[in-house]
Structure 1
Amino acid sequence: MKLSRITAYSSALVLGAVLALTGAGAAGAAQSAAAVDYVALGDSYSSGVGSGGYDSASGDCKRTPRAYPQLWAASHAPSSFAFTACSGALTGDVTASQLAPLNAGTDLVSITIGGNDAGFSDVMTTCVLQSEATCLNRVATARGFVDSTLPGRLDAVYTAIRSKAPSARVVVLGYPRFYKLSGNCIAGLSEAERSAINSASDYLNAATAKRAADHGFTFVDVAPNFSGHEICSGSEWLHSLDLLNIGESYHPTQQGQSGGYLPAFTSAA
């Protein structure tokens, strides 16, 4: 009887210690999450072009609270958050004007970059306005640039980020495929053009993933999140050609940011 009481008492002590440690661990985890210093870099896919509600103070950069970096910061309450992503940014623009908030205390960095360097805006303009053959040739030129020139430009950006934020977790996000093949679009680009554009997006993502991995960064493919929500899907999370808001064409909608990019980033942050 006495042994049972001692055993029960000891078990209670152990249980109490475990609960105390668990509570302390949870509190520590919460404190750690709150202590994150986060910097969001990149182009229009990170600034939030296409999702509306732009901050007038950001001017032509068109940053918005509906972009995935802002959504993540709103739900995770980092101790500091700097948002320097800008519409139209090239790799050189990131190194020239977006890296100031980075420092030795930066814990987390996100970035989308490379699409403008590869000329995807010109690719889409060419494909919409010119012949299928001209479109396919322009796509091939973009793929050639991804092979020959983009890796060096990405290296320069990634090296600069690591130099300024040596301890940060850097999450590099890719680009979605634009089109659902054999979808419900009855006009516009040919199926061959849509397939070539999708393939070029995959090609860009693969090259970006390789450079990110070589720098010890985490690459996140967002294409699976957009599956079933491409242009021609009937449930689009991407703008098609919009003549009234031409700059928003082929960019994620508000749902694309919250349902496509946000969970992709959150999984890796």
Structure 2
Amino acid sequence: MRLALIAAVAFSVSACAHPPALNEGARYVNMGSSFAAGSGAGPAPEASPARCYQSQVNYAHLLAARRNLALTDVSCGGATSTHLLNAWNELPAQIDAITADTRLVTITIGGNDVAYAGNLTQASCDPDETIRVATFSVPCPAAPFPIASDAFETLERNLGEATRQIKSRAPEARVIFIQYVTLVPQVQCANSRLSEVEAAELRVVAARLAEVTARAGEANGAEVFRIDEASRNHTPCDADPWSTGLPRDNAGTQAPWHPNTRGMEVIAERLDALLAR
């Protein structure tokens, strides 16, 4: 039983027994939505698309600095899994950043496909409230965002296709899906402002999002980094939060319901440890 448990834990963080070596200066591509971009976690890198709200202290930049990697960050706030594979107005498909010499790819995406962060925000703010993020302000969403009936199926299909294309374009790349940090507290507080009914519904969405991501990654040769499990006691209502909620005195320095600076640091540290194994 002990050997079986060890094997299960090993498989939970890696889909390949002998991942390729990652040398200094290796090409690293970061893909995904605002959770990968680090929206609200810090100042934007030079020359990054203004509407993507990337941060100089997202986990990709921190990891690249730790390991002296050549980072290309194409993550973008608001992106869905469709934008991994297809252009988004003036932005090319994120997968176009993958070249044959790419050695590491990290991906966090899917929350926008299923309106996860949007519905967290809607549920935790008042109808007449203004939400401040970085340089802009938006009103509280008036009603929950609908989730398409086939949203999870589309997400799983797109994640699988993206992984296969990455493996084809860069056969030596190590591909890691990074799960979303746990956001919904078990016990609500002033930073979450969710009803128990809302919290329960949003936990179901989070669990299914994690399940789909894990299944798509493991079925197509990607690794799955389960930061969702590691962050269960680090929600906006815990003593050491790795993410923000939406307190009433929101100062706009961090994006609501996103990883905070501390969360980005932890993800980078644990990714670094994973890559060292």
TM class by shorter chain equals 0.7 to 0.9
Closer/same/farther in 2, CA of residues 130 and 153 from structure 1, 3 Å limit? farther
Structure-2 residue corresponding to 1:252: 259
**Could you tell me how far 1:192 is from its partner in structure 2?**
2.8
- Whether contact under 8 Å (1:61, 1:87) holds in the other structure is yes
- Displacement, 1:82? 1.1
TM-score (norm 2): 0.73
Q: Give the superposition deviation at 1:225.
A: 3.0
The structure whose Rg is larger is 1
2:112 equivalent among 82, 91, 116:
116
1:211 pairs with 2:207: no
Using the size of structure 1 for normalisation, the TM-score is: 0.75
- Could you tell me which residue of structure 2 aligns to residue 148 of structure 1? 153
Aligned equivalents of 1:201 and 1:264: distance in 2? 21
RCO comparison, higher one (Cα < 8 Å, 6+)? 2
SS at match of 2:102: coil
Q: Does structure 1 residue 166 correspond to structure 2 residue 171?
A: yes
Matched residues, number: 231
Q: Distance in 2 between matches of 1:89 and 1:221?
A: 21
**SS, match of residue 241 in structure 1:** coil
Letter of the structure 2 residue corresponding to residue 43 of structure 1: S
Aligned partners of 1:99 and 1:188: how far apart in 2?
37
Contact 1:109–1:169 (8 Å) recurs in 2? yes
Query: Does structure 1 retain, via aligned residues, the 8 Å contact 2:125–2:193?
Result: no
Alignment of 1:48-127 (within 5 A): 48-55=38-45, 57-58=47-48, 59-78=50-69, 80-95=70-85, 96=87, 97=92, 98-127=94-123
Assess if the C-alpha contact under 8 Å between 1:184 and 1:233 holds in 2: no
| 84-93 vs 169-178, which moves further | 84-93
RMSD: 2.8
Pair 1:187–1:150, CA change in 2 (3 A): closer
In the alignment, which residue of structure 1 is the partner of 2:32?
42
**Displacement of 1:129:** 5.7
Comparing 111-120 with 241-250, greater Cα deviation is found at 241-250
Aligned equivalents of 1:60, 1:167: Cα separation in 2 = 32
Structure 1 position 196, deviation (Å)? 2.6
Structure 1 residue 87, shift from structure 2 partner: 1.1
**Aligned residue for 2:135?**
none
Among 264, 274, 277, the residue aligned to 1:268: 274
The CA deviation string for residues 192-212 of structure 1, in whole angstroms up to 9 with x for no partner, is 322331232121111110000
Query: Partners in 1 of 2:246 and 2:150 — Cα distance?
Result: 24
Judging changes above 3 Å, is the alpha-carbon distance between structure 1 residues 143 and 130 closer, same or farther for their aligned structure 2 residues?
A: farther
C-alpha change, 1:94 and 1:233, in structure 2 (3 Å) is same
Relative to structure 1, is the Cα distance of residues 64 and 223 closer, same or farther in structure 2, using a 3 angstrom cutoff?
same
Identity %: 25
Which structure features the higher share of strand residues? Answer: 2
**What is the Cα deviation at residue 72 of structure 1?**
0.6
Flag the 1:194–1:162 CA change in 2: closer, same or farther, 3 A.
Answer: same
Structure 2: unaligned runs, 5 residues or longer = 1-20, 128-143
Q: Deviations over 1:212-252 (max 9, x none)?
A: 01110001111233232202224322111265539811011
Letter in 2 for 1:238: S
Who is 2:197 aligned against? 192
Aligned-partner SS, 1:124: helix
Asked whether the 8 Å contact 1:92–1:157 carries over to 2, the reply is no
Q: When you count helix as a share of all residues, which structure comes out higher?
A: 1
Provide Cα deviations, 1:133-168, integer angstroms capped at 9, x if missing partner: xxxxx69x7495454332122223223322322221
Q: 1:152 & 1:129 partners in 2: Cα distance?
A: 33
CA positional deviation for 1:130: 8.5
| TM superposition shift of 1:184 | 4.2
